[in-house]
Amino acid sequence: MNGAGREIWVLGETIGQTPCPHTLELIGKAAALAEQSGGAVFCLTDNLKKDACGLLFAAGCSRVFLYGAPWSEYVCSRILADYARQAVPDIILGSATVFGRSVMPQTAALLKTGLTADCTGLSMTEDGLLLQTRPAFGGNLTADILCARARPQMATVRPKIFPPPALDDQRSGEIVSIPRKDGMREPVRVVSRIPVPGQSNISEAEIIIAGGAGIGSKEGFSRLYELAHLLGGAVGASRAAVNAGYADSWAQIGLTGSTVRPRLYLAFGISGAVQHTAGMRSAGKVIAVNTDPRAPIFDYSDIAVIADWQETLDALLRELSD
């Protein structure tokens, strides 16, 4: 497999016929890797206005393979695998979104290659391999992973792990249409889409406002929604809060709930038992509010507010509304 193309491909995602920010982040990262490996960055994407391709070029890719209509996960993974079988790119990167988490493993399996999920670091080794770093075993460890023999080397990255790239309008590139395959099997059809408010899908949320038993009531939890609304975040809960009936079970964060890795985590009235911290220890910045100065949650926090959660919430809402 050595001597394969040095291309780095990025699986693009779009919203409203423009590239998603996380796609640009990946292209920026791919361009930095390509500089080291001496390769080119291509993006395969769907349903994009032609002039929006300029954004992809400005972010650092030189060729866009464009599918004219929105593609399903099934069709996308089959086309991506077909194209990769012919061109044998060195690397394929995709976002760890609901879409990417479905398409990338399907594609990797079709290509009989490896895939590393949720990478927090990507770099090239001296041997020209993609070094993939990810949290392992519930966040206790970080693992450096290589895919030495099989090609392409594939990895997913959560949105906002890499910074938005500097956009250079001078860069241009080539647009290649991906022809629609007539008669291709389409075994999955989305027949209705209902928008969900804010980011109620907590495992994908970038900002989480979580409450624990200390919140004391369902009404108390509704106050957390005020802050979530203001910050564009989602509301999460500890097991204790769910068991007490203050919050729904889908909001539960921890070992028996969801594991989250938001950029920002605010914990109100959460003591921080292992049950809970195992689900949020990989969060970026953590702000915790608790009246108990010895609450274990503070060990996972950047800011510890040892005070009443309601007073602090009120003050915070005032600060942020200014």
Partner 1 sequence: MKIVVCIKQVPENAQVAVSPQLTMVREGISLVINPADANALEAALQLKDRYDASVTVLSMGKPSAESMLRQLAPLGADRLVLVSDPAFSGSDTYATALVLSRAIRYLGGADMILCGRRAIDGETGQVGPEIAAMLDTPCITNCLGVSGIEDGTLSCTRLSERERQTVLACLPALLTVCEWINSPRLPSIFSLRHRADIPAELLTNRQLGIPEELCGLKGSPTQVKKMDVRRDESKNPSKYRDADQGAKAAAELIRRPAGGEAVS
In the region spanning residues 140 to 179, those forming contacts with partner 1, defined by CB under 8 A, are: 140-150, 160-163, 165-166
Looking at 46-54, 85-93, 173-181, 286-294, which segment touches partner 1 (CB under 8 A)?
Answer: 286-294
Residue 47 makes contact with partner 1 by CB under 8 A: no
Residue 183 makes contact with partner 1 by CB under 8 A: no
Among 17, 201, 217, 243, indicate the residue that binds partner 1 (CB under 8 A).
Answer: 201
Residue 4 makes contact with partner 1 by CB under 8 A: no
Among 10, 66, 235, 289, indicate the residue that binds partner 1 (CB under 8 A).
Answer: 289
Closest among 288, 284, 245, 297 to 268, alpha carbons compared: 288
User: Looking at the DSSP assignment, which residues form a beta bridge with residue 123?
Assistant: 131
Contacts of residue 173, Cβ cutoff 8 Å, sequence gap at least 6: 53, 56, 57, 61, 62, 63, 64
Give the integer Cα–Cα distance in Å for 304 and 295.
Answer: 10
Q: Six-digit token pair at 28?
A: 């920026």
Contacts of residue 32, Cβ cutoff 8 Å, sequence gap at least 6: none
Please report which helix (H) or strand (E) contains residue 30, including its range.
helix 21-37
Residue 115 makes contact with partner 1 by CB under 8 A: yes
Q: How far is the CB of 175 from partner 1 (least distance, A)?
A: 25
Residue 113 makes contact with partner 1 by CB under 8 A: yes
Q: Which amino acid is at 252?
A: Q
Dmax (CA) for the chain in angstroms is 65
Give the integer Cα–Cα distance in Å for 230 and 223.
Answer: 11
Q: Are 245 and 237 in contact (CB under 8 A)?
A: no
Closest among 21, 20, 42 to 31, alpha carbons compared: 42
Give the integer Cα–Cα distance in Å for 96 and 154.
Answer: 12
Closest among 266, 224, 215, 264 to 243, alpha carbons compared: 215
Among 23, 45, 47, 116, indicate the residue that binds partner 1 (CB under 8 A).
Answer: 116
Residue 138 makes contact with partner 1 by CB under 8 A: yes
Give the integer Cα–Cα distance in Å for 5 and 169.
Answer: 27
Binding letters toward partner 1, positions 6-35, x by CB under 8 A: ----------------------x---x---
Residue 256 makes contact with partner 1 by CB under 8 A: yes
Looking at 2-10, 44-52, 61-69, 291-299, which segment touches partner 1 (CB under 8 A)?
Answer: 291-299
Residue 77 makes contact with partner 1 by CB under 8 A: yes
Residue 286 makes contact with partner 1 by CB under 8 A: yes
Looking at 61-69, 128-136, 174-182, 215-223, which segment touches partner 1 (CB under 8 A)?
Answer: 128-136
Nearer to partner 1, 179 or 189 (CB): 189
Among 87, 175, 231, 244, indicate the residue that binds partner 1 (CB under 8 A).
Answer: 231
Q: How far is the CB of 177 from partner 1 (least distance, A)?
A: 25
# of chain residues touching partner 1 (CB under 8 A): 105
Give the integer Cα–Cα distance in Å for 145 and 134.
Answer: 8
Looking at 45-53, 137-145, 174-182, 218-226, which segment touches partner 1 (CB under 8 A)?
Answer: 137-145
